[in-house]
Chain A
Amino acid sequence: MFNKFDVLETIDMIEREHLDIRTITMGISLFPCIGGDAQKTADAVYDLVCRKAENIVKVAEGLSGEFGIPIVNKRVSVTPVSLVCASFPEKACLVGRALDRAASRLGIDFLGGYSALVHKGTAAYEKIFIDGIPDVLASTERLCSSVNIGSSKSGINMDAVRQMGEIVKATAERTKDKDGLGCAKLVVFANAVEDNPFMAGAFHGVGEADTVINVGVSGPGVVKHALEGIPGADLTEAAETIKRTAFKITRAGQLIAKEAAKRLHAEFGIVDLSLAPTPVMGDSVAHILEELGLECVGCHGSTAALAMLNDAVKKGGVMASSHVGGLSGAFIPVSEDIGMISAAERGELSVDKLEAMTAVCSVGLDMIAIPGDTPASTISAIIADEAAIGMINNKTTAVRVIPVPGKGVGDSVEFGGLLGRAPVMPVHTADSSAFIARGGRIPAPIHSNKN
């Protein structure tokens, strides 16, 4: 028999503290679908994804019922589509739309992998592919796109950085009737990982097996509740408490991941240890930092508190899972975290402070609404800054900003559902365009030469 307090603790975590499995994501290799013809490839992609992931929703619901733990999202990630469409990049949209239809048929909310990897250089077919992203995001509902523009090993492809500033702007413009919603489905990465289960940045890496299950756990509410039980404890004790909590959360994720992989006839890939907030009260990473003693996230001390939280989550989680991967860290998306939203509305949380915080956590400047008249070169410069943090610190960083058409500082934008709402935050208005126009490649840092 189990210790009754352990049993009741689990029940409390699920019922009151929003413990859940945030996502079960099936990674599917599209390489077997490549044909010489765009339409044939698109048809093959649709058939393969529908067949492989046919039971993902049913299996997730079954697991949720049996283990009594909610499984919030069921998703699919695929091989970067730019590779699949290399011989017909101008028709890649056919594959994108086929993937969107497949997602709709499977009943999943997002499918990731309309992606390109250009961290060292942009091939001609990749440039055409990337130019098509705004149109594809404007004409699909569930498809997510990402572009990797830099890495610690290769430096930063500043030509791609320049192009992505323009692509983000164009995507906002094409989806202006929905406040630039297309940008919520477009991530610009440095050091992108190949087994990330979270959207919008998930894609199925080329080094992966053909069908893989990756699971993202979550539980900001559980961590906050654990900290509420030790008011006034010093930070050593707080870190220990977070570690213990992360261990339990991750063990639940590991169990579900292995069982899901077995039932879906896929390999178990990784458990991603990220603390992922949702806009619901009690599911906020910002509120954990405030529980540690900060009046409002964004004030001085936020970076230190987040660094401790992020590290403790990893230390606790790493022992609980046989394979840890993905992004594995605390997420700080502004629009998806009720504490971040209110700090931004109070003016306590700035883009500059968020940038500093991304140096110590996963992943980057995420779900931030910025003024619609922000120049493309400024967005490129924001991307370059984030990529530099990732490159130098050997970590993944990303930019997912939404230049909301027709809106400025003081306005607010509602994306709905898990994407939440965001106040439009100011960015620096001084000009970065001459720097961005230089292009070229920022060389890889000295510490990348490890061989």
Chain B
Amino acid sequence: MRAVVTVTGKDKKGIIAQVSSFLSERGVNIEDISQTILQEYFAMIMLVDIGGSSVGLAELAKECEALGNSIGMSIRIQHEAIFDAMHNI
């Protein structure tokens, strides 16, 4: 099952390292990464496979939120179907 991780907030050092090691510890495989910086505003989007994840998606979402709070960013993980439904016909 695939999900989309989004990380947004003010740019700072080490964001990708922290998020990717967090995901790797839980068995989540990163398939694609795209990132942009717009006027110091950092936005990273990752497409991940959570088939090998040690925890369920709803639980991962809670942990992502907690990690985001601890590093001062907004981090979400959502089932890819929501983006597919809203933006693809």
Contacts and interface: CB of A to CB of B under 8 A. Distances in A.
B36 interface: yes
B47 A2 contact: yes
Contact of A251 (B36, B47, B76, B86): B86
A254 B86 CA distance: 10
Contact of A4 (B34, B85, B86): B34
B36 A67 contact: no
B76 A68 contact: yes
B57 to A, nearest CB: 4
B85 A65 contact: no
Interface string A60-89: 011011111100000000000000000000
Interface in B57-89: 57-59, 61-62, 74, 76-87
Q: Which of B8, B43, B62, B85 has the most CB of A within 10 A?
A: B85
A3 B36 CA distance: 12
Nearest to B43: A8
A257 to B, nearest CB: 11
B66 to A, nearest CB: 13
Nearest to A319: B89
Contacts of A4: 34, 36, 43, 45
Given A11-B6, A66-B78, A68-B76, A3 B61 contact: no
Given A4-B45, A11-B76, A68 B87 contact: no
B6 A8 contact: yes
A346 B28 CA distance: 55
A90 to B, nearest CB: 47
B78 A254 contact: no
B32 interface: yes
Nearest to A12: B8
Contacts of A2: 4, 45, 47, 80, 83-84, 87
B82 A248 contact: no
A237 to B, nearest CB: 21
Given A2-B4, A2-B45, A2-B47, A7 B57 contact: no
Interface residues of A, number: 24
Size range of the interface on B? 20 to 34
Interface string A5-20: 0111111000100000
Contacts of A3: 87
Contacts of B80: 2
Contact of A1 (B32, B81, B86): B32
Contacts of B43: 4, 8
A8 B81 CA distance: 15
A69 B58 CA distance: 11
Interface string A385-396: 000000000000
Contacts of A64: 58
A248 B84 CA distance: 10
A339 to B, nearest CB: 26
Contacts of B81: 67, 255
Given A66-B57, A66-B61, A15 B74 contact: yes
Contact of B57 (A65, A69, A248, A251): A65
Contacts of A10: 82-83, 86-87
Given A1-B34, A2-B4, A255-B85, A7 B79 contact: no
A66 B58 contact: yes
A17 to B, nearest CB: 13
Interface string B22-52: 0000000000101010000001010100000
Contacts of B87: 2-3, 6, 9-10, 248
B74 to A, nearest CB: 7
B75 to A, nearest CB: 11
Interface in A114-170: none
B53 to A, nearest CB: 12
B43 to A, nearest CB: 6
Contacts of B82: 10, 67-69, 252, 255
B51 to A, nearest CB: 14
A64 B84 CA distance: 16
A8 B87 CA distance: 11
Contact of B86 (A62, A66, A252): A252
A15 B6 CA distance: 12
A68 B85 CA distance: 13
A248 B45 contact: no
Which 3 pairs between the two chains have the least Cβ-Cβ distance? A65-B58, A68-B78, A6-B87
Given A7-B83, A66-B58, A67-B81, 13 more contacts: A1-B34, A3-B87, A4-B34, A6-B86, A7-B6, A8-B8, A65-B62, A67-B82, A68-B79, A248-B86, A251-B85, A251-B86, A254-B85
